Amino acid sequence: MYLLTDKFYFMAKLRYVYSPMEGGKSALLIMEANNFEKRNIGFLCMKPSIDTRESNDKIHSRLGIEKECLTIYPNYNIYKIIEEIINDKESNNPPLQWLLIDESQFLTSNQVDQLRMLVDKFDINVLCYGLRTDFRTYCFDGSKRLFELADDIEEMKISCSCGRKAIINARFNSNGEIVTNGEQVLIGGEETYRPLCSKCYLEEIKKVALNNMPYANCQG
């Protein structure tokens, strides 16, 4: 436990906030950004280019709110981009103090390393929001590296339809059947993904007689 007077509490950090889909991550990011804007705190919102559900230059929430952002492509060096912004002496914007990144699981491992370097060299707070695992229960490259490098990791809990804690982003086809094979990334919304607990996840697999997922054949 740390007191507000502790030096550690005020240090710049790399933070990762994760939850299954429908956890309200984008809405929370936008609310944080609006709060910084009202207080004239320098911030920049970002999201990976792979998130094509809406326009490239905005972060959207299911609540209907949105925020302008910088799109990050896989070949972008985030460290160099932010370094240029920090060193721009002619800018009229307040000094950059926060980076807010949505869908952070889609960052490359190298880009997460760059975020770590930004925190340590420029004392910028980096707040990442994203998923922990894909529909097959494996970490994305970005989320895996964030778990390895983040100072703080926070889980936003969400309930499965049965009432248990949801931990899996289950993918479903147009017939409502669970899907356990395919490309790791398939952009979709509520019609494609549902947050499930592990018990309901296995029950859905049994319905379609699929046994090729991790631990699906394990019987207690």
Q: Which residues are catalytic?
A: 103
- Which pairing describes strands 96-101 and 58-60: parallel, antiparallel, or unpaired? unpaired
Distance CA 185, CA 183 (A): 5
Listed residue (178, 171, 174, 176) closest to 205, CA to CA: 178
Q: Residue holding tokens 């550690």?
A: 8
- Which pair of structure tokens corresponds to residue 157? 């809990």
Distance CA 65, CA 26 (A): 9
Distance CA 173, CA 187 (A): 13
- Which pair of structure tokens corresponds to residue 63? 């609540």
AA letter at 65? I
Q: Residue holding tokens 């699906």?
A: 216
| Strand boundaries in the chain, DSSP class E | 14-18, 42-48, 58-60, 66-68, 70-72, 96-101, 125-130, 152-155, 168-172, 178-179, 193-196
